[in-house]
Amino acid sequence: MDIGFIGLGNMGFPMARRLIEAGHKLVVFDTRKEAVDKLVARGATAATSPKDVADKVETVMASLPSLKASLAVATGANGVIEGSRIKRFIDLSTIGSAMAAKIHGLLAQRNIVQIDCPVSGGVGGAEKGTLAVMVSGPKAEFELLKPVLDVIGKVFFIGEKPGAAQTMKLANNFLSATAIVATSEAVVMGVKAGLDPAVMIDVINAGSGMNTASRDKFPRSVLPRSFDFGFATGLMVKDVRLALEEMKQLGLSMEVADAVGRLWETVIAAEGAESDFTAAIKPIEKKAGVVVGGKGGGLAGK
């Protein structure tokens, strides 16, 4: 298939690369020329704008960092909405159901189908093609696109309602956000009491407390003190805020979510939006007066 791909960042670049390797012909655009050049060297065609992408192909995918960016790329001046060939816009970004519905309505005025397609699994999942790919939109479009989406991960059809896949993604990322701060508090408690954090993580992963943070984030990025898992604190906070907004719109009771939201606001204030989200443990350590490190990976307490 001829595919347009806009947004070649930490997630977008490996997804686009996998599509090229699978034999699809890509037309790519990003504000960073070096990212475009790397894919052109692999056989992609460069475009000069989102509109230019949408002038060249019927199917356009986008992986973007913010609601503002998704709205601008989809419906703004020189956006895909102005393209002459585009028939469908597949947004791989996390933008929440309200924004997805807004973009859906605007694109529908130009007979362009909006496909919500947020993904989960991090940079590692994008590199390996093992992402969870959540899709909402017309079923016929889903069936057409599924062979393409299979290249980047395991595909789930959530429903035809605009924004349904966004709700699913926010539920997933809320749990991920909760796992990292809850595990941080648990391990900091143990270290404060004199336990070895590496042994703690081994026990948790062999027991009922195992979660994505203890299984993946702590061994790779927290215990070694590298804080380089590949997902920015700013993006996680964006997702938590979107989840809280959606819960409020649905009239839900959110005791745990509110607490998690407050913790992440503390993290972004202390560590900054550009920090890796595994740095969430740092403000918790600071309050406790300990530093969590694995075997040879830092102090177990102070």
- Bridge partner residues of 26 (DSSP): 3
Provide the CA 188 distance to its chain's centre, in angstroms.
27
DSSP string, 240-262: HHHHHHHHHHTT---HHHHHHHH
Pairing of strands 59-62, 45-46: unpaired
Provide the CA 291 distance to its chain's centre, in angstroms.
28
Phi and psi, residue 273, nearest 5°: -65, -25
Can you tell me the distance from the alpha carbon of 71 to that of 103, in angstroms, rounded to the nearest whole number? Answer: 7
Q: Which of 51, 102, 169, 238 is catalytic?
A: 169
Looking at this protein, which amino acid is placed at residue 90?
A: I
Can you tell me the distance from the alpha carbon of 63 to that of 94, in angstroms, rounded to the nearest whole number? Answer: 9
- Bridge partner residues of 177 (DSSP): none
Closest CA to 138 of 165, 111, 114: 114
Token readout for 78 is 């020189």
Looking at this protein, which amino acid is placed at residue 62?
A: A
Q: Is 41 exposed, middle or buried (0-12, 13-18, 19+ CB in 10 A)?
A: exposed
- Which H or E element spans position 119? strand 119-120
- In the residue annotation, 169 being an active-site residue is answered as yes
| CA-based radius of gyration for the chain | 20
Can you tell me the distance from the alpha carbon of 198 to that of 223, in angstroms, rounded to the nearest whole number? Answer: 7
Catalytic residues: 169
